[in-house]
A and B are shown apart, each in its own frame.
Chain A
Amino acid sequence: MGNHYHLIVDLNTGNDRPAVRIRAMRLQQHGELPQFASTVYVHWSPDECVALVKPEKS
């Protein structure tokens, strides 16, 4: 069991807009320090995205 570590990644949307910054988290396996290249490919499943409708103010 490892520790969790956090990553700050700027996503390139490819349409001349500013990058979109996300905060991600991963599990550090076997006590190893994570190795990263500065360019990573980020994937997220639609089933992990929860759409929320703003409640109306009462």
Chain B
Amino acid sequence: MVQPLALPHPTAIGGTVPPDHDIELRKIFKMFGGQAAVRDVDFQVHKGELFSILGPSGCGKTTLLRMIAGFEEPSAGEILIGGYPMVGVPAHRRPVNTVFQSYALFGHMNVRDNVAFGLKVRHVPKAEVQERVKNALKLVRLEKLGDRFPKQLSGGQQQRVALARALVNRPRVVLLDEPLGALDLKLRKQMQVELSNLQHDLGITFVMVTHDQEEALSISDRVAVMNQGHIEQIGPPSEIYNHPHTPFVADFVGDTNLFECQILDQDGAYLELKSLTGLAIVAIKPDTWQKDTAAIVSVRPEKFTFLRSHRPTLQHLPGNGQQHFVYGQPLPFDC
């Protein structure tokens, strides 16, 4: 009989205050053939949070999720769920459920049986299985499609079955590996809203892996941006977008203009710089600045303003418009 790990309340075994986070990663490393796929990763995921791990293909984000799920063991470091170490705890004993990009539904089972599968394996009483499956399908608005088979469903409906199958087990944490990656753009936008509403209504902790920065920024409470196996920045979406800590984060998240600069002087909270292309720039001094002589300046496209006439102020330059794009169509200037 397979039972997921039932975590005792921490106060019951030591009188300690229960942690305010569901997941904690401490100095996690994962090596594959001498190469570090994940290196020195530390973070906590708060209870009831929608936390996204965002990064390009091959950055190690799925490996990180698989270590939390128990499908991979870290080469070094500790993973705690609910304050308890997970080293050596197999996937099926962890209080988490994973939703995969491919949904991994059983094609020969109808929707109801797909959702009930985990409960039946754990020998949950039949009446309870029926009640929980009914509630899970209601949550994802599929209560009328219980008799259908996966091939009779749209991509969005299959994704909702996969979600119901995870939620029916009442996990402490739901792990989502590119859950909307197989959907077309319109459906993906719709499902982003549904996923976010469901997570907030249920209050369950969600950890989602995605390479889609717009998806991560639009529905997450916090985002961890990952690059080459390492977390470059963790924060709320607005902080990640407006105050990136590294050139990679500035460039990967949203659109930006990056100028390689020499630092000429400093004045209070600002640096005076000269770009290699000849622009004189004054920029906010980064927290990490330690008398460095070079920096990269990021200016988001929407931060530029346009005036009809010249004013003798700092960072005010004449320019020649080349093209503008409306609805993706390039148009000439003087239109």
Contact = CB atoms under 8 A, between A and B. Distances in A.
Interface of A: 3-15, 17-26, 28, 33-55, 58
Contacts of A21: 322
B26 interface: no
Contact of A55 (B246, B270, B290): B246
Nearest to B314: A46
Nearest to A18: B277
26 contacts: A3-B327, A4-B302, A9-B320, A11-B317, A17-B277, A19-B319, A24-B304, A26-B306, A28-B326, A33-B331, A34-B335, A36-B334, A38-B333, A39-B320, A40-B319, A41-B308, A42-B304, A42-B307, A42-B316, A49-B303, A50-B298, A51-B283, A52-B247, A53-B286, A53-B288, A54-B246
B140 interface: no
A19 B281 CA distance: 15
Contacts of A46: 270, 281-284, 314-315
B324 A36 contact: yes
* B: interface residue count bin: 35 or more
B245 A41 contact: no
B309 A41 contact: yes
A5 B329 CA distance: 10
Contacts of B318: 11-12, 39-42
B335 A51 contact: no
Contacts of A50: 242-244, 250, 283-284, 286, 297-299
A4 B326 CA distance: 7
A39 B310 CA distance: 11
B321 A54 contact: no
